[in-house]
A and B are shown apart, each in its own frame.
Chain A
Amino acid sequence: MKKDSSIRYAIDESLSSVRFNAQDERSVLRRVRAQRQEEKPPVHAKKRGLRLDFAFAMGMVLVLVIPLTVFTLHAGSLRTQRIVPLADTNPSVDAPPVKVSETAQPVASAAPVSDSVIDESAAIRAARDCYNAVCDTSIFSFEEFTVTCTLDAPLYPAETEGDTQYTVVMESVYGNGCTFEVYVDALSGSVLHSDPKYATLPSISALQSEKAQAWYKKNGNCLLTWQPAAQAEFSRRYEGATLREAKDGEIPFAQAAEIAKNAAASYDAAFCYPLLFSERAAADGIARYRVFCFADEITGDASSAQPAAVVVLNAATGAVESVRAFDSESDSALMKGWVDVR
């Protein structure tokens, strides 16, 4: 069989805009580093009560490590990494914004320049301010992330020669893959950040995590039968906050079920289970109930339960927008609260 190269040319040409670019490379290297840090003993977990030790360590960092690090980083031969315990280093909410020293001098020689390099807590404070400014804090707060701060040498010397930066990697405590990275220039304090949507967008495998599966074990395998608060919290953690509870002024779950039951009477709907899809789950930004109506009550192992009809209601007004037969192809995912919010 003679090998034809037309397929190779076709794919390369058709997907010429698809490149594994420098951003991808950085992302891989950062994840590799974060992974490496996770494999090390979790020294940060034991330190909360030892304030004297921490102060001593910070003193040592200021007096010895930073000047030495700056010197050796400049020589391109040393990198320091440290997992920063959240409670020890997080500033209070009303902490003032990072002040950039006007006297900061570029690292141009082996002379000590520690005064001009911001410390880790300032870098984390900058990351926190950045997170609060650009990410949707109504879904996750800064405290719901573990924070790793790394003082790093330039990854691509040709691109950022002379820069020394902190990489602050935030990873969700729920193990859902939500992540936010902030790069803080160690001299100027200026900030670059990753795409904020990944801070609130769980990864595809989030639902397979042990933590997510524990919710099913606790509440049953059919989301429809869960309490609204449990639905909303699970969705917030693992599904991208596509579901929520009813707010003041919106019709409550029980009323939504009643309206849907009447609307779907022609489908012999006897038992209706509402899910309230948040503004985030709709292209037009309007929160709606999707009520799944069954002829029989859901009991026991409900994985095979199939509704007769789906009723869509406006959450604010209770107006019925549609009543239709359940379509297993398109509605199965919705029944679990899953909407692609990418």
Chain B
Amino acid sequence: MASYTEDTREQALTQLMHLYGDSIKRMCGVYLRDTGMADDAAQETFIKAYDHIDEWLDGEIGNEKAWLMRIAINTCKDTLRSSWMRHIDRHQTIEALPLSITPNNEERLALTQAIMALAPKYKEIVLLYYYQDLTLRTCAQILGISAPTATRRLQQAQKKLRIQLEERG
């Protein structure tokens, strides 16, 4: 394994933050339904990634996006599992989140809100597959489930989304 200077490592991390920062923060926002916690989770994701930045620089991490998304999803799960979250519902109501509302995007807003309202296990597969544009096999690897389970879960999530959207009119 090559030895890198701290400057090289920081530059590499900055590059990752430029590339994936926005999408990770938004994904965390949808998953956690709390903008403050999304800030923390997104930052935490990159801090954890830094611990393995040498491996990434060495080319040992094949799919960097999948690697980062795995860290991000696990960070979000840890946040939800924390004792504080178990006792205090810090989820903001969907209506209270700072979503951008323009007259033309009400439909898209409703879709985002419907995803936010899904249970975490459905939300994560939707976010990874549709929002992060990963393959179903990669999603399954990230979530630690088999490919058939991932397929089934995605289908169930689609069904739940449809029902929610119909209910919202």
Which A residues are closer than 8 A to B by beta carbons? 1, 3-20, 24-25, 27-29, 31-32, 35-36, 79, 203-205, 207-208, 332-333, 336, 338, 340, 342
Measured between beta carbons, the chain B residues less than 8 angstroms from A5 are 130
19 A–B contacts from the bound complex (CB under 8 Å) = A6-B111, A7-B126, A7-B130, A11-B30, A14-B100, A15-B29, A18-B22, A18-B26, A18-B38, A20-B21, A24-B21, A25-B14, A28-B13, A29-B10, A32-B50, A204-B79, A204-B84, A205-B82, A208-B82
B57 at the interface (CB under 8 A from A): no
Question: What are the 8 tightest A-B residue pairs by CB atom distance, in nearest-first order?
Answer: A20-B21, A10-B108, A7-B130, A14-B112, A333-B87, A10-B111, A15-B26, A14-B99
Report whether A17 and B100 are in contact in the complex, using a CB–CB cutoff of 8 Å: yes
Main secondary structure of the interface of A (DSSP, over half): helix
Nearest chain A residue, comparing its CB with the CB of B83: A207
Report whether B47 and A28 are in contact in the complex, using a CB–CB cutoff of 8 Å: yes
Of B17, B79, B98, B108, which one neighbours A25 at CB under 8 angstroms? B17
Report whether B100 and A13 are in contact in the complex, using a CB–CB cutoff of 8 Å: yes
Which B residues are closer than 8 A to A by beta carbons? 6-7, 10, 13-14, 17, 21-22, 24-27, 29-30, 35-40, 42-43, 46-47, 50, 79, 82-85, 87-88, 90, 98-100, 105, 107-109, 111-113, 115, 126, 129-131, 133, 136, 154
Measured between beta carbons, the chain A residues less than 8 angstroms from B83 are 207-208
Main secondary structure of the interface of B (DSSP, over half): helix
Of A11, A18, A208, which one neighbours B115 at CB under 8 angstroms? A11
Report whether A3 and B47 are in contact in the complex, using a CB–CB cutoff of 8 Å: no
Report whether B10 and A32 are in contact in the complex, using a CB–CB cutoff of 8 Å: yes
Report whether B88 and A340 are in contact in the complex, using a CB–CB cutoff of 8 Å: yes
In the complex, what distance in Å separates the CA atom of A12 from the CA atom of B13? 23
In the complex, what distance in Å separates the CA atom of A25 from the CA atom of B107? 32
Question: A14-B112, A338-B87 given as contacts; is B21 within 8 A of A25 (CB)?
Answer: yes
In the complex, what distance in Å separates the CA atom of A59 from the CA atom of B6? 27
Measured between beta carbons, the chain B residues less than 8 angstroms from A340 are 88, 90
Give, as a whole number of angstroms, the nearest-CB distance from B168 to chain A.
13
Measured between beta carbons, the chain A residues less than 8 angstroms from B26 are 11-12, 15, 18
